[in-house]
Amino acid sequence: MGRLTWKHVVVISAGILILIIAGIYLWKSAGQSYAYKQHVGKGQSLLGQGQWGPAITEFAKAAKLRPENYDPHYGAGAAFLKLGHLDRASVALENAVRINPESAAAHYSLGITYQRLGKKDLAMREYGTVMRLNPQSFQVYNSIGALYFEEKKYDEAIAMYRKTFEIKPDYFVAYFNIGLAYEAMGKKQDAIKTYNEAIDFVEKSAGDVRIKAEAEKRIARLQGKKASSGKK
């Protein structure tokens, strides 16, 4: 075996240095990956508990480590939306759909955000994407109905609300919303009938008692108006 020359020493030294650098990088990357998963996991847990502010803090830490990943942007957007911080929600959710254009959940949340910001055309665009990605998403038809209701297009709103029944027949929120549309159109008996259907579904499914209470209140008011007009 020949003697090592200075060229051999340089090559060997360079190889060792590369291995050291690669080891450091892998160690650092593994540490960041672990921390990222911890922050995302904690953020999602806090989100599920309704602790929106702390959840946002965790998602922000995760996004700092992995800005190219979907989860922290979507999680933060969902939390901002719950808090009513709509501008910040739209930024986070726009990042989420840019990173993962196939996420129906992110497109739907972004649509809700745009709708609350009064950006109805953008909201409808997002809802259209949701219908393409997940035709079984009954909530999106309810949200489109709400858009039409805001524009006083009550027939179109009712048509959209009814589409939810094709997917989820016991979705009592849609029954209540149809009642609102009938009431706005001045169709009192149709409104009363639909409010009663909403109440029945709430009772059968142990649903949101606030919907039941509001429906009962509206029925009483509508019947009161009818009784009072009959006395004149």
Same domain, residue pair 123 and 141: no
Same domain, residue pair 130 and 154: no
Total structural domains in the chain?
Answer: 2
Same domain, residue pair 50 and 131: yes
Mean predicted lDDT score pLDDT of the chain: 88
pLDDT at position 43 over 60:
yes
Above pLDDT 90, what percent of the chain? 74
Long-range contact set of residues 47-55: C-beta below 8 Å, sequence gap at least 24: 47/75, 47/78, 47/79, 50/82, 52/79, 52/80, 52/82, 52/83, 53/79, 53/83, 55/79
Amino acid code (one letter) for 211? I
Same domain, residue pair 128 and 179: no
Same domain, residue pair 89 and 116: yes
Q: Which of 35-44, 50-59, 123-132, 205-214 has the lowest mean pLDDT?
A: 205-214
Q: What is the pLDDT of residues 132-180, one digit of tens each?
A: 999 999 999 999 999 999 999 999 999 999 999 889 988 889 999 999 9
Same domain, residue pair 143 and 56: no
Q: Is residue 46 part of a domain?
A: yes
Domain boundary among 100, 117, 135: 135
Same domain, residue pair 188 and 120: no
Whichever domain contains 218, its CATH number is 1.25.40.10
Q: Residue 32: its pLDDT value, please?
A: 72
Q: Is residue 180 part of a domain?
A: yes
Q: What is the mean pLDDT of residues 70-82?
A: 97
Domain boundary among 104, 135, 166: 135
Q: Is residue 157 part of a domain?
A: yes
Q: Is residue 12 part of a domain?
A: no
Q: Is residue 24 part of a domain?
A: no
Same domain, residue pair 126 and 60: yes
- Asked if residues 161 and 178 have their Cβ atoms less than 8 Å apart, the reply is yes
Instruction: Report how far residue 120's alpha carbon sits from residue 122's, in angstroms, rounded to the nearest whole number.
Output: 5
Q: What is the mean pLDDT of residues 220-228?
A: 71
Domain boundary among 92, 110, 135: 135
Same domain, residue pair 116 and 68: yes
Q: What is the pLDDT of residues 91-139, one digit of tens each?
A: 999 999 999 999 999 999 999 999 999 999 999 999 999 999 999 999 9
Q: Is residue 2 part of a domain?
A: no
pTM: 0.79
Instruction: Report how far residue 42's alpha carbon sits from residue 59's, in angstroms, rounded to the nearest whole number.
Output: 8
Same domain, residue pair 153 and 205: yes
Q: Is residue 25 part of a domain?
A: no
Range of the domain at 70: 40-135
Confidence band of 11 (pLDDT split at 50, 70, 90): low
Q: What is the mean pLDDT of residues 35-56?
A: 94
The gap between the terminal CA atoms of the chain, to the nearest Å, is: 119
Instruction: Report how far residue 198's alpha carbon sits from residue 218's, in angstroms, rounded to the nearest whole number.
Output: 12
Same domain, residue pair 130 and 160: no
Q: Is residue 201 part of a domain?
A: yes
Same domain, residue pair 106 and 172: no
Instruction: Report how far residue 58's alpha carbon sits from residue 36's, in angstroms, rounded to the nearest whole number.
Output: 9
